Amino acid sequence: MKHLTHILILLPLILGAGCGDSDTASSSEAWVWDLPDTVPEPRVPEDNPMTAPKVELGRFLFYDKKLSGNQTQSCGTCHLQELAFTDGLAQAEGSTGQIHPRSSMSIANAGYAASLTWANETVVLLERQALVPMFGEDPVELGMANMEDELLRRMRDDERYPEMFAAAFPDQADPINLDSITKAIAAFQRQVTSFKSPVDRWQQRDLTALNESEQRGMALFFGGTNAAGVEDAFECFHCHGGFLFSQSSDDAGQVFNQKFFMNNGLYNLDEDGSYPPGNEGMYEMTGDPLDKGRFKPPSLRNIAVTAPYMHDGSIATLEEVLDHYARGGRLIESGPNAGDGRNNPNKSALLNGFEMTEQEKQDLIAFLRALTDDELLNNPAYSDPFAE
Amino acid sequence: MNETTILVATLALVSFGCGDSSSGGTGGTGGEGSAVAVTIQFAAKVGMADFECGEIYDNVGANSTSLQLDDFRFYVQDVELKNAGGDYVPVELDTEANIWQIENVALLDFEDCSELGNPEMNGVVTGTVPEGSYEGLRFVMGVPFDLNHDNPAVAPPPLNLTSMHWNWQGGYKFLRIDSGNIMVNQSNWRMHLGSTGCDGDAQAGGTTMCSNPNRVEVDFETFDPENDTVIADFAALVEGAPLDINQEETPVGCMAGPTDGDCAPLFDNLGLPFDGSEPDVQQFFSIE
């Protein structure tokens, strides 16, 4: 690069000509976030300001099967609104039938994620993340690799899109391009927020929002003493605290890097902390054995409707999830994944197990269920425009 | 070799692309005589045989496997020729007439049959160097960091090919060699190489470092740009690698994952460390 830089000095006047890269805030009115006072605004990249036309374009693109190579899937295929934008499967299935090693994550509040997906600290922008399912080859998700020209052709040939792209990117002479597709999808996702659960209403001082069981569960969740007399017996909020109910959060005012990955003792294949091959968490990125089994603690918002649980969907119910944590790790007695996760050397020091009465278990689950935001599941602004 | 009339000023105009934020530093070819055009020839081979897209090659790898090869592409950056004084001089890439090049990176493309490819091929790096005699060559197989981690959705050619994107870590596949068709879930073997262990910084807007850059340094003490060709030899890449065996539950072949043991012999042949190894110099590239 340094070889070319002398050039820049010679030609300052040409700078800026024809570089329609920045869709600076357009003339339309400023975007207004629909957020309670208890929640900060998400970080919005300077080159992708929120506008209503862009969000609406993003909604269409998110649900459009034209975004898959064989036109059988859209983003929404694995992210169903009624399941808080998950798919109910243990592991997702791509457009060519390839099974993903991971379970589909909710996109609700994805604009606040300190890092996106289960165990990847590289992907921090929704705009960049959108490229992974579209063009990724391992696994194949939407299966668009090498079909970028075809994708743009489909957009141009559509009766709706040329106008929608023009409205969303008014500064661009030729707005149908890959960058505007990722920006529109990201803008749509960024405003799919979910902060209207009964727990949110309680935190906004609506004392009727939670029943007694839910309140008891909330107290236990946030460090209460259990029946056995142990203070902060359950330690839930250390990983699942904050407005996201995940410590891995970011927002417009955040100045610290809050990316966060930990091992929760699901597996221990060889007493070396190994997880099943092909699904080993941060270790797959770094190769550091200490990263075996380290995944992002997901947000617990809407957790009741996003079963099955964990990165590989290997726990079916919330009851079993609590049993797993009560034991301090999962014991798998036989088969290829046999091992005692409780003894995983990489396991978080917070997961030491705990005693839990049946009542406490039911109270915790009642609280977790009260994190479901029915408006998210039904909001027409987030819904599939192609569904009739 | 006779296009000596390409002016530095012309190159400069063209090199100036959208979205390029790189700046600072000095350099250039001015002031020491005229710049002359130079073409570095590349070729893909499998042992003694020329690479032909879709061809089946016998006796490759540790277990003498037969393998059909359907893709063979790689990026090179920082191509430099060694002058008579022993100094390395950057080849200022022709980014006007040559769509395969941008800034200081070029795509070499030997496939015309991949379902993830295109019919066009490219086996040369073209540019200019100060007039003089040259007797050595060095380059890096890779994409420079700044370009590698810029927004691929707005990248100019030859960085705008989504089949060369490496989105899970950001950046590009520096090398892709494929056997099979992933779109129908049939993959026999493949090698995709890019940087891994990359961080992501939301405040900074992206990646600031990768713990495994995986750029391959290539250095030929002796190279005659008039007569020599740089050979990328698949057989040399997979020497010692059992291509018919795949580590359980890892991608078929090697996708550069630090936990995929199938990568170990390939990285070794590329002169790249893998799992703490200290490899010798690369043997994938040679001169003919």
- What is the structure's pLDDT at B159? 97
Q: Which residue of A has its CA nearest to B29?
A: A3
| ipTM at complex level | 0.81
- What is the structure's pLDDT at A309? 98
- What is the structure's pLDDT at B1? 33
From the list B189, B167, B145, the residue with the least C-alpha distance to B56 is: B189
Could you give the 3-state DSSP secondary structure of residue B137? strand
Q: Where in A150-210 does DSSP place strands (E)? A: none
Query: Which of B81, B247, B259, B262 to mutate to test binding with chain A, by most A CBs within 10 Å of its CB?
Result: B259
Q: How much is the mean pLDDT over chain A?
A: 92
* A vs B: CB pairs below 8 A: 191
Q: Is the pLDDT higher at A16 or at A261? A: A261
Chain B contact for A251 (CB, 8 A cutoff): no
Measured between beta carbons, which residues in chain B are less than 8 angstroms from residue A176? Answer: none
Chain B contact for A3 (CB, 8 A cutoff): yes
- What is the structure's pLDDT at B182? 66
**Chain center to CA of B78:** 11
Could you give the 3-state DSSP secondary structure of residue A251? coil
SS (H, E, C) B209-277: CEEECCCEEEEECCCCCCCCEEEEEHHHHCCCCCCCCCCCCCCCCECCCCCCCCHHHHHHHCCCCCCCC
Task: Enumerate residues 73 to 112 of chain A having a beta carbon within 8 A of any beta carbon in chain B.
Answer: 96-98
- What is the structure's pLDDT at A322? 98
pLDDT class of A101 with cuts at 50, 70, 90: very high
Q: Percent of chain A having pLDDT more than 70?
A: 92
Q: Calculate mean pLDDT across residues A208-216.
A: 98
pLDDT class of A46 with cuts at 50, 70, 90: very high
CA–CA gap between residue B246 and residue B188 (Å, rounded): 10
- Which of A121, A135, A179 is opposite residue B154, by nearest beta carbon? A179
Ranges of residues in chain B whose predicted pLDDT is under 50: 1-31
Helix then strand count (H, E) for chain B reads: 4, 18
A20-29, A309-318, B148-157: which has the minimum mean pLDDT?
Answer: A20-29
Q: Do A4 and B12 touch (CB under 8 A)?
A: yes
Instruction: Please spell the DSSP secondary structure of A328-352, one letter per residue.
Output: TS-EE-SSTT-EEGGG-TTB-TT--
Q: Calculate mean pLDDT across residues A113-127.
A: 95
Q: Calculate mean pLDDT across residues A188-215.
A: 97
Measured between beta carbons, which residues in chain B are less than 8 angstroms from residue A147? Answer: 162
Q: How much is the mean pLDDT over chain B?
A: 87
Q: Do B162 and A11 touch (CB under 8 A)?
A: no
- What is the structure's pLDDT at A72? 98
Model's pTM, two decimal places?
0.87
